[in-house]
Amino acid sequence: MITRPDCPDAEALQESLALAMQALRMPPDWPIRLDEAPTVVAPELRINGTPVHPCFPAKDGAPCPACGVVHDNPDVEIIRWHLAEALGKKTALLLCSGNAVRSQMAEAIVNHVLGDQWAAFSGGIFPMMLWKPVVQVLKEIGIDARNRKSKHIELFLGCRFDVIISLCSNADDFCTAFPGQGVRKHMPFDDPMTSPFFGFGDLGRTRDLRNNMRNSICDYLRSIQ
């Protein structure tokens, strides 16, 4: 439910909701109610009656002419987390240092292979641009990752996850420091971007990483269903 649909920003909020629903394989005709709520100051998304807000409220920006306040719509990923909770899916947060290779690939694989039971999310300590070989090797197994963006783990500080899996190698295992709740699992994988042969055989190393992750991470999540 999105309240205050008369505000121009409600359209952006509805688009984010549609993207989150698509990522969770929800049908586009899933019943959504747009309510007139003149007592609500700004557009607000409610899932099962619970308001969906970002973890860190916005402080800057120009007030909306319709609402008179600064809009602070939640990120698509936060909406997707709330929807996954409402659908009764288990949630997993995959972490690595840059959210450019390992955690991005693990998130995409889990959602592709186990999306009926699990909703996977990912983040990094130092977000970097998604590495191009990741897009190519995921395409080989039917996953379109062209529009994926790196995310900082702070985005999810208000979310609870059933499982939090850190993927950093033993050399940079500081990515285990995420303070959220959930079962903790450290599954180290080497980052192909840090290989001494960087630039040579990148696709092969990334493909091997994909296959190893698809086997080990999916098997682990299946074991705790």
Q: Are residues 98 and 167 in the same domain?
A: yes
Q: Is 7 a catalytic residue?
A: no
Going across the sheet that includes 50-51, the strands are 34-35, 2-3, 44-47, 50-51
Annotation marks residue 55 as catalytic? no
Same domain membership, residue 148 and residue 39: no
Residue owning tokens 């970097």 = 128
Where a domain ends, among 59, 80, 101? 80
Find the domain containing 201 and state its range.
Answer: 89-223
Give yes or no: residues 58 and 166 share one domain. Answer: no
Phi, psi of 163 (to 5 degrees): -140, 135
**Does 22 lie in the same domain as 47?**
yes
Q: How many domains does the chain have?
A: 2
Q: Are residues 49 and 104 in the same domain?
A: no
Residues of the chain with pLDDT under 70: 1-6, 31-42, 55-71, 170-180, 195-201, 225
Say if residue 126 is in the same domain as residue 198: yes
**50 shares a domain with 156:** no
102 and 201 housed in the same domain:
yes
Residue tagged active-site, from 7, 67, 159, 168: 168
Q: Of the residues 60, 80, 100, which one is the last residue of a structural domain?
A: 80
CATH number of domain containing 119? 3.40.50.2300
For the beta sheet containing 118-124, the strands, ordered from the edge strand earlier in sequence to the opposite edge, are: 118-124, 90-96, 163-166, 183-186
Tokens linked to 159: 């979310």
Helices 132-139 and 202-223: crossing angle in degrees, nearest 10, is 60
As a whole number of angstroms, the distance between CA 108 and CA 175 comes to: 19
**Same domain as 186, residue 111:** yes
Residues 99 and 8 in one domain: no
Asked if 159 is an active-site residue, the reply is no
Residue-wise pLDDT for 39-87, tens only, equals: 556 677 888 878 888 766 655 655 565 555 566 788 999 999 999 999 9
185 neighbors 114 (Cβ within 8 angstroms): no
pLDDT of residue 151: 92
Do 116 and 175 reside in the same domain of the chain?
A: yes
**pTM of the full predicted structure?**
0.85
Catalytic pick from 7, 67, 159, 175?
A: 175
Catalytic one of 55, 96, 159, 218: 96
Distance between CA atoms of residues 189 and 209, nearest Å: 8
Q: Which two tokens stand for residue 107?
A: 């998130």
- Give the three-state DSSP class for 21: helix
Two tokens, residue 36: 């007139």
Task: Out of 80, 114, 148, pick the residue that ends a domain.
Answer: 80
pLDDT at 168 (0 to 100): 84
| Whether residue 22 sits in one domain with residue 62 | yes
